[in-house]
Structure 1
Amino acid sequence: MRLRALVVCPGRGSYARAQLGRLPDGHPVVAALDQLRVRLGRLSISALDRAPEYTPRLHVAGEHASLLTFASTAVDLAAIDRDRIDIVGVTGNSLGFYTALYAAGALDLDGAARLIETLGHYQADNVIGGQLMYPLVDDDWRPSPAYAAAVAAALAHPGVHVSIRLGGTIVLGVDADGLAHARRVLPPIERGGMRYPTQLPSHSAFHTPLMAATGERARAELADLAMRSPATTLIGGDAVVHRPWTSPAALWSYTLGRQIVEPFDFERALATAVGELAPDVIVLPGPGDSLGGPVAQILIGRRWRGLRDRASFLAMQASDRPVMLAMARPEQRARVV
């Protein structure tokens, strides 16, 4: 049976140490991206992926991590077996929305690479503010009123903004004063080997007003970006559903306008996608599977297919009708390619 799938593209930061060396030699997507970087006088994607070791200077910095992430996702998208998987919709988290534009056919490979490389390279020695992650759910992935209250206290400061609503986690965009305030009012939490609040390394405060100048620069330099109406339904970070008859001008305006300076509501985007499209399964292309937890938490919050908590999600994943297939996991990838 051909499965109706919603594809969800990951954001920057999903290319981590475990992904080093995973890009296939000679793949046409990788070759095209290598050519772009060489023309710009920058280290090729292949060279970054084949580095002898994973280092923050190379693999976390936005000017490298952005296109590395896109390359990994695009390679996975090309591997999906369309005879088994019917892609009925596409969305993504943060930078993953730019990849979703490509996956939906609103941008060709060159256009998507230009968009991502341009915005990624703006971050070279120019990180603006920062991003902090903090959980909103407990260990069973149920909402925590105490955590929500702490986040509300952090947001009372004018230098703290909602950046990304990521299901059971919120990402805050902060300036220097806001960072200090948030660290004071957010109680430390240890979970899964991580300590929260966690500052994302080398990340600017995207999706907040702090990025207004970046947006202005991008709109000027990418005025001729060849946006098209998507061939596949696309859901943005404002939960607007872009059908194949969507105005390319409106999509360009959102991508290089509000999307840069307003909160990216991944939670609402995913909830809208599953509500509008009723997919059989959610497919997560790589790199990694870092969106697995947030996607599951959002589905639990919406009681999709009767999901109530972490245990019910894991039980459904172990059944013959899983709700999610992560291409980074070999046993799940085998059901997609």
Structure 2
Amino acid sequence: MTRTAVVICPGRGTYNKPELGYLHRHHPDKMAMFQGFDAVRSQAGQKTVTALDAADRYTVSTYSRGDVASPLIYAASLADAQDLAEDIEVVAVTGNSMGWYIALAAGGAVSAEAGFTIVNTMGTLMQDHLIGGQLVYPFTGDNWVNDPARKAELLLDVARINGQEGHYLGLSIDLGGMLVLAGNKAGLTAFEASQPMAQDRFPMRLANHAAFHTHLQAPVAAEGRARLSADLFGQPNHPLIDGRGKIWWPGATDTQALWDYTLGHQVTEPYDFTRAIQTAAQEFAPDLFIVTGPGATFGGAVAQSLVLADWRGMSDKAAFQVQQDTQPALIAMGRADQRALATG
């Protein structure tokens, strides 16, 4: 019996210390593909993906860099997407932030190597420029119950701070029950001072992250467009859901518009991952949501996005967990206890 699935590709921050060796551990059969990626890195004078993955030691200072994290996550996530069991029918592909580039490859709109070139180029440009930063703050509590009033209150505070001279702050990613905010140092510091600590760890600054999905990234977008041709893009094999909830359909995609979105709006405007997941649920009603690796922390944002939409009557975290215990709808391939559910 066929199981339908939406494949979800993660963004930055998912290749951490436990993931060191992910490519060699899970995908020794894909070394030919990884060597193709290595060639792109070597030509740019960068350490290869396989060497980074095979290192003896993980350091945050190295592995959180955009020019290191992005290609590693791309390689791991795309390899996972290629490892799905034969009875799984992929009905759509989406991703979070940098995961959009992976989704392009997993959905067939670009080749594996073209996708790697896009990711490596944009990750390197982001790191070279490193304009601004990001932090994360929740608007729901531990139970994930939607709190639109609290969300509106936080966004008002963001607008207030952004209106102060020398301060820039804006929404970067709508990420389930959390807001990812981006801005300059003054803007981020002002928000941290204005909001109480939540869940013992928020607001949380993200190491080596720039002000993604804001107009501060306009120079990066311009340079990316100059380096990456629209010829890299073709018709997707699967429907792609972008960071606005728009669906790019196989056989009906304007590839010039897809290039324009990917290296334009997607870089400089807020990314609504919540809406992408809710569109996936409502338009495709899949049996499964499969989150590719590396890492497993990203599944929470997917689950929260479904809860916020009251999908299948899941109105809070407890209801989601009951659903997971009876018939799992969310599979994180980065979790050892769930991986076999997707790979067979």
**TM-score, scaled relative to structure 1:** 0.95
SS of equivalent to 1:98:
helix
Superposed, 1:259-298 pairs within 5 Å as 259-298=266-305
Contact kept, 8 Å, 1:6 with 1:279, in 2: the verdict is yes
Taking the aligned partners of 1:65 and 1:122, their CA distance within structure 2 comes to 13
Superposed, 1:1-337 pairs within 5 Å as 1-24=1-24, 25=28, 27=30, 28-81=32-85, 83-144=86-147, 145-146=149-150, 148-158=152-162, 159-191=168-200, 195-244=201-250, 245-319=252-326, 321-337=327-343
Deviations 1:237-285 (A, max 9, x none): 0111100111111111100111111100001111111111111110011
SS of equivalent to 2:126:
coil
Q: CA deviation at 1:30?
A: 1.8
Contact kept, 8 Å, 2:133 with 2:182, in 1: the verdict is yes
The one-letter amino acid of 1:238's match is R
Taking the aligned partners of 1:259 and 1:147, their CA distance within structure 2 comes to 22
Count of residues in correspondence between the two structures = 332
The one-letter amino acid of 1:312's match is A
Q: Which moved more, 1:66-75 or 1:32-41?
A: 32-41
Q: CA deviation at 1:150?
A: 3.5
Taking the aligned partners of 2:181 and 2:33, their CA distance within structure 1 comes to 33
Contact kept, 8 Å, 1:20 with 1:50, in 2: the verdict is yes
SS of equivalent to 1:230:
coil
Taking the aligned partners of 1:264 and 1:29, their CA distance within structure 2 comes to 29
Greater helix share, 1 or 2?
2
Distance 1:198 1:154, change over 3 A: same
Taking the aligned partners of 1:61 and 1:53, their CA distance within structure 2 comes to 15
Distance 1:148 1:53, change over 3 A: farther
Taking the aligned partners of 2:230 and 2:2, their CA distance within structure 1 comes to 38
Taking the aligned partners of 1:325 and 1:279, their CA distance within structure 2 comes to 12
Contact kept, 8 Å, 2:274 with 2:305, in 1: the verdict is yes
Deviations 1:205-235 (A, max 9, x none): 1110111111111111113441012110000
Structure 2 unaligned spans of 5+:
163-167
The one-letter amino acid of 1:207's match is H
Structural RMSD (CA): 1.4
Taking the aligned partners of 1:190 and 1:317, their CA distance within structure 2 comes to 23
- Percent sequence identity over aligned pairs: 38
SS of equivalent to 1:196:
coil
Taking the aligned partners of 1:23 and 1:72, their CA distance within structure 2 comes to 6
Taking the aligned partners of 2:153 and 2:296, their CA distance within structure 1 comes to 29
SS of equivalent to 1:156:
helix
The one-letter amino acid of 1:160's match is L
Structure 1 unaligned spans of 5+:
none
Contact kept, 8 Å, 2:12 with 2:69, in 1: the verdict is yes
Taking the aligned partners of 1:292 and 1:188, their CA distance within structure 2 comes to 23
Taking the aligned partners of 2:228 and 2:334, their CA distance within structure 1 comes to 32
The one-letter amino acid of 1:243's match is W
Taking the aligned partners of 2:153 and 2:127, their CA distance within structure 1 comes to 35
The one-letter amino acid of 2:135's match is L
Contact kept, 8 Å, 1:163 with 1:206, in 2: the verdict is yes
Q: CA deviation at 1:125?
A: 4.4
Taking the aligned partners of 2:3 and 2:204, their CA distance within structure 1 comes to 37
Q: CA deviation at 1:300?
A: 0.8
Deviations 1:181-227 (A, max 9, x none): 21121211234xxx111111101111101111111111111134410
Q: Which moved more, 1:142-151 or 1:325-334?
A: 142-151
Taking the aligned partners of 1:151 and 1:252, their CA distance within structure 2 comes to 30
Q: CA deviation at 1:99?
A: 0.3
Taking the aligned partners of 2:128 and 2:223, their CA distance within structure 1 comes to 16
**TM-score, scaled relative to structure 2:** 0.93
